[in-house]
Amino acid sequence: MMTQKTNVNCQTIQELKKSSECHLEHIFECGQCFRWNKYEDGYIGVAGGKVVYAYEKDDVICLEGAKEEDKNFWWEYFDLGRDYGEIKRELEKDEILKEAIKYGYGIRILKQEPFETLISFIISANNRIPMIKRAVENISIRFGDRIEFRGMEFYAFPTVEQLARATVGDLEDCGTGFRAPYIAEAVRKIIDEKIDLEEIKKLDTDEAMKKLMEFKGVGPKVADCVLLFSMQKFDAFPVDVWVKKIMQKFYLAPDVSLNKIRQFGKNKFGDLAGFAQQYLFYYARENKV
DNA sequence: TCCCAGGACTACT
DNA sequence: AGTAGTCCTGGG
């Protein structure tokens, strides 16, 4: 029922691909999202309660299953209003970034849902990507809405109200381990204190960060990820093990602390710190720096 | 079998 | 202000 091809985004993405600014593999494998999986010639993913099959054909990228009324949603989701060529030209002034951008040329920062991003990155603490993906998937299956696509079942990430029905035990069963109580407390905090993540989004980066770190299980790294991947705070600079490695190798001493690395990145790359982080992360992990 | 990776919290200095 | 130990799970 939802297998009609969309042409709403194809035309735009076609141009983007020609200028090397949109490559699905780089977008989905650079550590920012957990709900896109390889399928046939592309990826199938769930976002905003919608499923699409995204693939590249010749010099066109199609979103099969996207509805006309969701045109604007996908436009925003893939950040299509932004000129990544300009961003790259600025960052390429740095020799290390120039090299990193060669690898991750088609990266775009997805505009994801704040609640889903918050919970997903709480799960990411001291965890590996396949395990995080499994836990997020299990949570969606148990508490989210079912969506059919191409004769397969998919599940939207649950709303706050839906996830409020989960006990700590339920969340442990989903594979979240010691993070289960953090998730339950975050959901409870949002409901009890009537927290609107969209309001936090309106604050400046530092203020928003403080608010996010009031959630248990949210430290500097997780907060930076939520700011960057769901609140368009592009001056955030999440430092995970890979970014730590590459920064210590190419920019700083091998024993510099996480907080120093974070400050250095924010100062060096400014409003483009988040984009720089994505290129550096992808380069470091692909090349096992 | 053990050991390791992977961030945040707690409880110390 | 900085830091050792602990939390959980899967894979080598």
User: For residue A142, what is the domain's CATH number?
Assistant: 1.10.340.30
From the first residue on, what is the mean pLDDT of each consecutive set of 10 residues in chain A (289 residues)? 39 59 92 95 95 84 86 89 94 97 94 97 95 97 96 96 96 96 96 97 96 96 97 96 94 91 95 97 87
Residues of A classed as catalytic: 221
Work out if A130's Cβ lies within 7 angstroms of strand C: yes
Work out if A48's Cβ lies within 7 angstroms of strand C: no
Neighbours of A179 (CB within 10 A): 23
Neighbours of A194 (CB within 10 A): 8
**CA A95 to C1' C8, whole Å:** 39
Domain-located, residue A91: yes
Q: Do residue A79 and residue A138 come from a single domain?
A: no
Q: Do residue A124 and residue A191 come from a single domain?
A: yes
Q: Do residue A70 and residue A121 come from a single domain?
A: no
Q: What H or E segment, with its residue span, contains residue A61?
A: strand A60-64
Work out if A288's Cβ lies within 7 angstroms of strand B: no
Q: Do residue A165 and residue A227 come from a single domain?
A: yes
Work out if A19's Cβ lies within 7 angstroms of strand C: no
Neighbours of A242 (CB within 10 A): 20
- pTM of the model as a whole: 0.93
By CB neighbour count within 10 A (0-12 exposed, 13-18 middle, 19+ buried), where does A203 fall? middle
Among residues A104, A127, A143, the one where a domain terminates is A104
Q: Do residue A37 and residue A147 come from a single domain?
A: no
**CA A176 to C1' B8, whole Å:** 14
Domain-located, residue A253: no
Q: A225 vs A15, A31, A139, CA distance in Å?
A: 29, 10, 20
Domain-located, residue A279: no
By CB neighbour count within 10 A (0-12 exposed, 13-18 middle, 19+ buried), where does A226 fall? buried
Q: Do residue A39 and residue A83 come from a single domain?
A: yes
Q: Do residue A77 and residue A168 come from a single domain?
A: no
- C strand bases under 7 Å from protein CB: 2-3, 7-11
Please state the domain count of chain A: 2
Q: According to the model, what pLDDT value does residue A19 have? A: 63
Domain-located, residue A283: no
Instruction: Report the CATH number that the domain containing residue A37 is assigned in CATH.
Output: 3.30.310.260
Among residues A63, A87, A104, the one where a domain terminates is A104
Q: According to the model, what pLDDT value does residue A2 have? A: 37
Which structural domain range is residue A178 located in? 112-231
Q: Do residue A117 and residue A201 come from a single domain?
A: yes
- The first and second tokens of residue A188, run together, are 């409870």
Domain-located, residue A171: yes
**CA A136 to C1' C10, whole Å:** 16
